[in-house]
């Protein structure tokens, strides 16, 4: 191979390596129940890692649609395929139907990945199915999308989710929500230092950006890699954080000198933002019950005014009654507002999750109330768009705790994001950011 063709060969190698890694990760996600964010192995180059990441996210989001398409050209029960072969066909179908790569390249890369992972006969099958798909192009002959199942297949979501969204939002809004969930997640950054200086950093790194319409210290960027290569993220000059998470901290409105607890703190993004807002004055306690997640809070513990505590928050609150000026309870939830960034979550969730999570959320809310001093603030938030986890919990809390009242969120946030009841509510299809909910309660003074 000539020197001139070396870059092309490297790109091809990265493509195959990335696809092989993607197939392995997809099998773990689909068959072992692993979460996409926890699945990964070191690859030989950033290019291969980008390929793997793209295909893992894309195939996971579009899984149901891909299965429908692939089954039109596979003579047999698609669900009965061995896991590796099934994921290779999903990957190749995604390459053809969604990414739109050149057919010869898409087929070649999938066949090469099959030769590495399986046997020659399997490679022949992959080649035959993908070539038939390219000829037939079933993605250009759209489903009628008249029934719930057809809508769910076309937009690759579980039936139960699509049904509840259509009942709540209507057909068109539900379609827009699913379109948002199927797009690769956008990147937003919270700027920790001087904004003008960081804007110049982004310009110099040739990173396109635009300001957040909701938060003056957040920007939306097209790419993260140039900033990560320049150590601007690891140095703390900026942090990767969704705007919806930033809105919750703004609703809490930390003030220098406050005693604050972040009740379910890991992975720590909101805690870091709170610590920045405190400016070294006051104290933040970041509590989390998960031993396996405590390492995510290690960076916080180095700050002189921040403690990271491994504990069940209900026990911590009982032992620290009335000690906090502000309490943030970002409760465990279904995560139905973050299905773009958590692509696999739609396949893990079931309606039964509400039966487990809602009682826990209400328990944690009652515990949080104990920790708030008279005159103090409690913010309850989720990354869900399900009313059971949001408005219903807020209303139940107010009924059980007359010593608290709601402070309207539009005092701190844009009224465009605030419900008539005064609650923060972001919807992906409307606001272009992750779905989130927040309510700010004030404890009445004695």
**C-alpha span between 357 and 442 (Å, rounded):** 24
**What are φ and ψ of residue 142, in 5° steps?**
-70, 150
Structure tokens at 261: 């607890």
What local confidence, expressed as pLDDT, does residue 8 receive?
A: 44
Provide the token pair at 384.
């869900």
Each residue's pLDDT expressed in tens, for the chain with a length of 446 residues:
444 444 444 445 888 999 999 999 999 988 876 555 545 567 778 888 889 999 999 999 999 999 999 999 999 999 899 999 999 999 999 999 999 999 999 999 999 999 999 988 999 999 999 999 999 999 988 666 678 999 999 999 999 999 999 999 999 999 999 999 999 888 999 998 888 889 999 998 889 999 999 999 999 998 888 888 877 887 778 889 999 999 999 999 999 999 999 999 888 889 999 999 998 899 999 999 887 777 777 667 557 788 888 999 999 999 999 999 999 999 999 999 999 999 899 999 999 999 999 999 999 999 999 999 999 999 999 999 999 999 999 999 999 999 999 999 999 999 999 999 999 999 999 999 999 999 999 999 87
125: Cβ–Cβ under 8 A, 6 or more apart, which residues? 85
> Whole-prediction pTM value?
0.91
The string over 339-369, giving b where at least 16 C-beta atoms fall within 10 Å of a residue's C-beta and e elsewhere, is: bbbbbbbbbebeeebbeebbeebbebbebbb
CA angle, corner 377, sides to 374 and 380, nearest 5?
Answer: 135
Rounded CA separation 95/62 (Å)? 11
Pairwise CA distance, residues 191 & 217, whole Å: 5
Q: What is the CATH number of domain 187-240?
A: 3.30.70.1170
Residues 6+ apart with CB under 8 A from 367: 263, 313, 314, 317, 318
Q: Are strands 436-443 and 424-426 parallel, antiparallel or unpaired?
A: antiparallel
Write down the pLDDT at residue 194.
85
Residue 184 near residue 57, CB atoms below 8 Å: yes
pLDDT in the model for residue 266: 86
Predicted pLDDT at 416: 97
| Domain 3-140 annotated CATH 1.10.940.10 | yes
187-240 and 243-443 share one CATH topology?
no
CA angle 173, 222, 381 (to 5 degrees): 50
Structural tokens at position 125: 């099958």
Q: Whose CA is closest to 181, among 433, 5, 444? A: 433
Q: Which of 429, 415, 378, 351 is nearest to 164 (CA)?
A: 351
Please give the helix or strand (H or E) that residue 141 lies within, else none: none
CA 233 to CA 259: how far, in whole Å? 28
**Sequence ranges of the domains in the chain:** 3-140, 148-182, 187-240, 243-443
Q: Tokens 């773990």 belong to which residue?
A: 28
Helices (H), 290-375: 298-301, 313-319, 345-348, 352-371
Residues 93 and 137: beta-carbon distance below 8 Å: no
CB-based contact 210:219 (threshold 8 Å): yes
- Residue 186 φ then ψ, to 5°: -80, 160
For 99, counting Cβ atoms within 10 Å of its Cβ (0-12 exposed, 13-18 middle, 19+ buried), the class is exposed
Class of domain 243-443: alpha beta
Question: Is 383 in the active site?
Answer: yes
Residue 100 φ then ψ, to 5° = 80, 30
Residue 39 is predicted with a pLDDT of: 54
Strand partners, 442: 377, 405
Q: State which H helix or E strand residue 412 sits in.
A: none
Token readout for 49 is 């890692």
Per the CB < 8 A criterion, the answer to whether 361 and 437 are in contact is no
φ, ψ (nearest 5 deg) of residue 384: -115, 155
- Which residues, in sequence order, are CB contacts of 158 under 8 Å at separation 6+? 152, 346, 347, 349
> Which run of H or E residues covers position 256?
none
3-state secondary structure of 361: helix
Q: In the numeric block, which tokens belong to residue 163?
A: 């049904």
Per DSSP, the three-state class of 373 is strand
């Amino acid at each position: 191979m000539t020197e001139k063709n070396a870059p092309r060969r490297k790109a091809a190698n990265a493509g195959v390596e990335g696809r092989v890694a993607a197939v392995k990760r997809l099998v773990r996600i689909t068959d072992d129940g692993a979460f996409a964010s926890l699945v990964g192995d070191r690859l030989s180059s950033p290019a291969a890692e980008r390929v793997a990441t793209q295909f893992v996210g894309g195939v996971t989001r579009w899984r149901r649609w891909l299965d429908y398409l692939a089954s039109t050209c596979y003579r047999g029960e698609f669900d009965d395929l061995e896991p590796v072969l099934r994921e290779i066909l999903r990957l190749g179908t995604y390459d053809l139907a969604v990414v739109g790569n050149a057919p010869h390249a898409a087929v070649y890369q999938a066949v090469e990945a099959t030769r590495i992972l399986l046997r020659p006969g399997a490679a022949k099958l992959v080649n035959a199915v993908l070539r038939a798909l390219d000829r037939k192009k079933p993605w250009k002959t759209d489903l009628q999308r008249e029934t719930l199942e057809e809508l769910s297949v076309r937009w690759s979501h579980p039936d139960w989710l699509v049904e509840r969204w259509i009942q709540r939002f209507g057909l068109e809004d539900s379609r827009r929500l699913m379109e948002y969930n199927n797009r690769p997640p956008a990147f937003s950054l919270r700027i920790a230092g001087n904004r003008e200086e960081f804007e110049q950093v982004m310009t110099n790194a040739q990173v396109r950006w635009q300001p957040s319409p909701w938060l003056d210290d957040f920007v939306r960027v097209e790419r993260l890699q140039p900033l990560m290569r320049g150590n601007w993220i690891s140095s703390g000059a900026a942090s990767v954080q969704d705007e919806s998470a930033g809105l919750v901290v703004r609703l809490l409105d930390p003030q220098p000198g406050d005693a604050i607890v972040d009740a379910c703190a890991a992975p720590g993004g909101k805690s870091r933002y709170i610590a920045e807002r405190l400016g070294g004055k006051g104290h933040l306690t970041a509590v989390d019950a998960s031993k396996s997640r405590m390492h995510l809070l290690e960076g916080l513990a180095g700050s002189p005014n921040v403690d990271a505590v491994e504990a069940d928050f209900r026990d911590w609150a009982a032992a620290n009654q009335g000690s906090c000026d502000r309490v943030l309870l970002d409760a465990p939830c279904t995560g139905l507002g973050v299905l773009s960034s958590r692509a696999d979550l739609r396949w893990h969730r079931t309606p039964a999750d509400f039966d487990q999570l809602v009682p826990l959320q209400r328990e944690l809310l009652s515990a949080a109330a104990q920790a708030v001093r008279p005159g103090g603030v409690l913010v309850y938030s989720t990354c869900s768009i399900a009313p059971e986890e949001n408005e219903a919990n807020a209303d139940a809390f107010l009924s059980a705790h007359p010593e608290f009242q709601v402070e309207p969120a539009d005092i701190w946030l844009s009224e465009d994001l605030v419900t008539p009841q005064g609650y923060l509510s972001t919807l992906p299809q409307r606001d272009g950011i992750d779905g989130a909910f927040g309510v700010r309660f004030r404890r009445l003074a004695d």
